[in-house]
Structure 1
Amino acid sequence: MPAIACSACGCTLSSDWGSQGLVAGSGWRADFRFDYFDQDQLRSGSDKVSRSSVSSADQEVQQYTINRNYNLALDYSPDKNWGIGIQLPWSNRSHATLAEGDSDISTSHDNGIGDLRVLGRFQGFNDEHNIGLQFGLKFATGKFNDTFASGPQTGEIVDRGLQLGTGTTDLLFGAYGFGALTPDWGYFAQALVQQPLNSREDFKPSAGVNLNLGLRYMASTTFVPQLQINARIEKREVGANADVDNSGASLVYLSPGVTWNINRRFSAFAFVQVPLYQRVNGLQIEARQLGSIGLHYIL
């Protein structure tokens, strides 16, 4: 039997420049973003759990999952009403777990491209073009057959929830709005639903929704401080190869950050995410904090 090693391996931060009102008009734009987070805190429900209190004779005890995620995004707007974005992730992920019944730790390490996302948008509902809909698909471009490289589980398939890809095509649908509260303060709000349309080899990933709310202080045109609240709510996985009991979560983060407008075309950003609330189903590991840095370029 493959070892089960499930946890939510994604970052909820929004660096969607279109939804934040930073897309001024037509043309091409490019983003590069790096996310780092080390999931090493064992949790059950909304509580921390000491590993010494859990016996591997009865269930798996995860040790850590270290995520280094790189995301390249290209965006094109033919006019102020329409736009389309393509996002391709590349991940480097290390994982260690003590599988049920084992006395030694098993480890895995995988890197490669993840699942490609194509997301269109329409924001022609009013003259300000500050309310929009998003719609698109996530495609099964990432591999999902990584195996453990060391330990008692060597050669066994790593849990599907930890693979670089899900093997499924997912529907993406959302809405957003942005604007100015005062001459110096701006806001944005965004909700994006991800719903798998199929299963693959007895596995269907979690359906979920990302919710983002942000403020930015625009008194300076060079350095723009931002503060976000990011939430992800996801259901349990489905299928014979899913870890139904230990999947699904509700996560809320506070995310302070800053954008540095280097010149008219080029900007950089950095954020830290700090958990405000974490509730998981079963026994899972979550991060104590997350970090993101990135670059934005108007072609």
Structure 2
Amino acid sequence: MNQYIDWHATQPASGFYNNDKKLATNFVTVGGQYMFNRSWGAMLEVPYWERNYRGAYEGNNDDIHSYDSNSIGDIRIVGMWTGLQEDMSTGFLGGFKVPSGDWHYPKYDRDTQIGTGSTDLLLGVYHMGTIPIVRMEDRPFSYYVQGMYDQPFAYQDHYKNGREFDSGYGTYYDFGKVGYLTELAPILTFLVSDRARDRGTNGDPKDTGYFRVQVAPGLETAFKSLRVYADIELPIFRNMNGYQLSAPFAAKVILSYSF
């Protein structure tokens, strides 16, 4: 993701008011999920970030510096309960994000560090179903909704990152077996995120926090136990506090294998 577009409230803005000029990040996450039975499971996500930051030095827009950093990000440990329905179509999530990511890099402000330095409570829910009134070739369209609430509660070094709620609302159609593929499913998802302002003496409440809506067309395929998902996330609406950097798009690829 390459954030280089200056944004204020709901529209592009002049870079004169923002010392940050570019924030380019590559995200790689290794994760695993294990179901103890049909009702209980656990997930672990270990992210790794590579980040390049370009910014003006002490408010001087003619003096631009560039810095690179890389680190393991904040690890997430989440439990899952899917016992509400026999088909496991509804689930509840609960867990923690731990401060494993680097938040001491001297060239970055706290809101541009790879790690937040906080311990966060994570609460989520998801549901999947079919739309029987919409069918094609005797197969119904399917839908899903999901949400995750992230509430920091243990902070470090006078920086309190804002709470965040991320949700997704999507529909997809599975063509089933196509050639060598055991699944071929185009997916359309709308992503809605709301993040509160940072607080604390090392925070920047004026230029943090946002509400945004994105659309993410994607595709999921499978070959036996191997599954591939890819999408591109495009902004529809953004309302950002103060002056912040925004990206024109974000691309995502997920590879998974079922044992």
User: How big is each residue's C-alpha offset from its partner over 1:130-168, in whole Å with a ceiling of 9 and x where there is no partner?
Assistant: 1121100000111101123xxxxxxxxx11111111111
Letter in 2 for 1:40: Y
Q: Deviations over 1:99-133 (max 9, x none)?
A: 44323012221101000000111111122321121
Determine the structure 1 residue equivalent to 2:244. Answer: 284
1:209 aligns with 2:165: yes
TM, length-normalised to structure 2? 0.92
Q: Is the 8 A contact 2:18 2:244 kept in 1?
A: no
Counterpart position of 1:295: 255
Q: CA deviation at 1:216?
A: 1.1
1:219 partnered with 2:175? yes
- Cα distance between partner residues in 1 of 2:95 and 2:67: 32
2: CA distance, partners of 1:79 / 1:280: 43
**1:184–1:219: 8 Å Cα contact kept in structure 2?**
no
| Matched ranges for 1:103-118 at <5 A | 103-118=62-77
Determine what percentage of the aligned residue pairs are the same residue.
Answer: 24
Q: Which residue of 28, 47, 53 maps to 2:11?
A: 47
- Over 3 Å counting, the alpha-carbon distance change for 1:253 and 1:107 in structure 2 is same
Cα RMSD, aligned residues only: 1.2
Within 5 A, what are the aligned runs for 1:165-244? Answer: 165-182=115-132, 183-221=139-177, 222-244=183-205
Q: Which amino acid aligns with 1:124?
A: G
Distance of 1:60 and 1:289 partners within structure 2: 20
Count of residues in correspondence between the two structures: 247
> Counterparts of 1:99 and 1:262 in 2: how far apart (Å)?
51
Give the 5 Å matches for 1:144-155.
144-148=103-107
Q: For the residues of structure 1 that align with 2:89 and 2:255, how far apart are their CA atoms?
A: 23
Q: Secondary structure, in 3 states, of the residue corresponding to 2:115?
A: coil
Aligned to 2:22: 64
CA distance in 2, matches of 1:125, 1:192: 18
Matched, 1:91 2:55: no
Using the alignment, how far apart are the partners of 1:92 and 1:217 within structure 2?
A: 35
Which TM-score applies when normalising by structure 1?
Answer: 0.80
Amino acid in structure 1 at the alignment position of 2:170:
G
